Structure 1
Amino acid sequence: MEMKPEKLTQELEKACGTKLKSVILYGSAAAGDHAGKKSDYNVLVVVDELGIDTLNALAKPASAWAQAGNPAPLLFTEDRLTKATDVFPIELLDITECHKVLFGSDAVQGLEISTENLRLQIEHELRGALIRLRQSYLLTQGKTKAVAELMTGSLSTFLVLFRAALRLFEETVPQKKFQALEKLAGHLTFDASVFQTVQALKEGSRKAKDVDVPELFNNYLKTVECVIDAVDAHIQKENA
């Protein structure tokens, strides 16, 4: 059963009382890029402290939220959020640029986000995701349905990271992930239609039996590698 962010916010208010400082919706839903039941909601929750009593209070609404198919809320105190700006530039840049306050203060407004480590974080996240993708492929044993599900399951992660990679080439990036993908393809050499096909599989507008899944997965890998190489080259150029 779908659980809307507004319902989660109500439950968090009941559970935390005055400890709850802010609830912020971010990601595709805040950007107007939410795909209904095929997409999830991302929420940042700021409380005044994160000891075990607060975690226990958050556990019930967070569990219901996760059972509805959403990622667990991202938890911070105001102090910890401020101190995290240098190590989570991808996430916090995305949140600050596009978010909706559901409760309390706008905890991310005015955050000074260092982009010094942005390139390294992008490369680290992309390489890690690619390693996991290959590991997971081994477990599919090449079965068409499982490989298709592997691509649709990993698509959102790569699109988020590709949008972050676009920041290396442009100061302002589109909020919608596929618009960002097309712009990135203009700076690098890859076929964005690979990801559009995977999105069609995810949405159900195309079926795995109607697609050359092995070839699609091969191109999926190649495109991810292309972006990683470009990010790495950008780092080497900056450090030269």
Structure 2
Amino acid sequence: MKPEKLVEELKQACPAGLKSVVLYGSAAAGDHVDKKSDYNILVVAKDLGLSTLDALSKPASKWAQAGNPAPLMFTEDRLAQATDVFPIELLDIKECHKVLYGEDLVEGLEIDTKNLRLEIEHELRGKLIRLRQSYLLTGRKPKAVADLMTQSLSTFLVLFRASLRLFGEDVPQKKFQALEALAGHLEFDVAVFKTVQELKEATKKPKDVPVGELFSTYLKTIECVIDAVDAYIHKGE
């Protein structure tokens, strides 16, 4: 299901309550990988009571069954109130989004970046912990380990892109361009992430690379970025 189809179904399901539907993420940034990347959608409704949720549940379920994450759901007031809690996500959405329906309720969001540092470190450390936990369940099988890397890659690239904001420069919309820019500050090798991306795009297969060695480097490089971000944060404090 394409985003435009979802919009039509949301409009039919909630004709009076739908205020805005926004596409964000890789599809809006131009680095969407067909059949490998999902579509990210933000929906703003007049209210999110049970009757509205029930009305939107059928198109949202079909959307999720097509392999996409369920839409983010906000009212306009709740969206504005969330800027201090989700600075990474809302800054990314604000800077790169496409309005598919209704008003642009994202562009005018006021986001104070003082909470950005804490969220970056919290998210990076949490994702690293879960990465290690998930590895324990792979049985060291090359395909399972490769899948673990490809499934986690986008999340880490988003967080690395957010980390680039700490250095006060313009942040490229495309994640790998942001990765290259961050490597200029933290001096790490981006090659491991490019190899994982090739696995994700299926231009390389797990049998074509030393998966165990690749995962080891992947893990160490993520740790390197976390340590550098942590040092930068505490230096700033």
Band of TM-score, shorter chain: over 0.9
One-letter amino acid matched to 1:55: L
Answering whether residue 213 of structure 2 is matched by residue 215 of structure 1, we say yes
Aligned to 2:183, the other structure's residue is in SS state helix
Q: Choose which of 148, 151, 154 in structure 2 pairs with 1:156.
A: 154
Aligned residue pairs, count: 237
CA–CA distance in 1 between the matches of 2:47 and 2:9?
A: 18
Question: Match for 1:63 among 57, 61, 64?
Answer: 61
Name 1:183's counterpart in structure 2: 181
Q: Which residue does 1:131 correspond to in 2?
A: 129
Cα deviation digits, residues 58-85 of structure 1 (max 9, x gap):
1100000001111100000000000001
Query: Which of 66, 77, 81 is the matching residue for 1:79?
Result: 77
Matches within 5 A, 1:92-107: 92-107=90-105
Residues 1-240 of structure 1 aligned to structure 2 (within 5 Å): 3-239=1-237
Q: CA RMSD in A?
A: 0.7
SS of residue in 2 equivalent to 1:46: strand
Q: CA deviation at 1:230?
A: 1.3
Whole-angstrom CA distance in 1 between matches of 2:12 and 2:162: 36
Unaligned ranges ≥5, structure 1: none
Structure 2 counterpart of 1:165, one-letter code = S
What secondary structure is seen at the aligned counterpart in 2 of 1:201? helix
C-alpha distance in structure 1 between counterparts of 2:92 and 2:76, whole Å: 18
3-state SS of paired residue (2:137): helix
Aligned equivalents of 1:109 and 1:144: distance in 2? 43
Q: If the length of structure 1 is used for normalisation, what is the TM-score?
A: 0.97
Letter in 2 for 1:198: V
Post-superposition Cα deviations, 1:26-75, rounded to whole Å, max 9, x if no partner, equal 11111111111111100000001111111111110000000111110000
For 1:7 and 1:191, how far apart are their aligned partners in 2?
40
CA shift, 1:130, in A, is 0.4
Q: Structure 1: how far apart are the matches of 2:125 and 2:35? A: 29
Runs (5+) with no aligned partner, structure 2:
none
Q: Offset at 1:171?
A: 2.8
**Secondary structure at the residue paired with 2:28?**
coil
Q: CA deviation at 1:231?
A: 1.3
Percentage of pairs with the same residue: 76
Deviation at 1:170, TM superposition (A): 3.2
The residue type paired with residue 187 of structure 1 is: H
Following superposition, which runs of at least 4 residues in structure 1 exceed 6 angstroms of deviation? none
Cα deviation, residue 226, structure 1: 0.9
Displacement of 1:227: 1.0
TM-score by length of 2: 0.99
CA deviations 1:120-171 (Å, max 9, x no partner) are: 1011111111000000000002111110010001011001001000111133
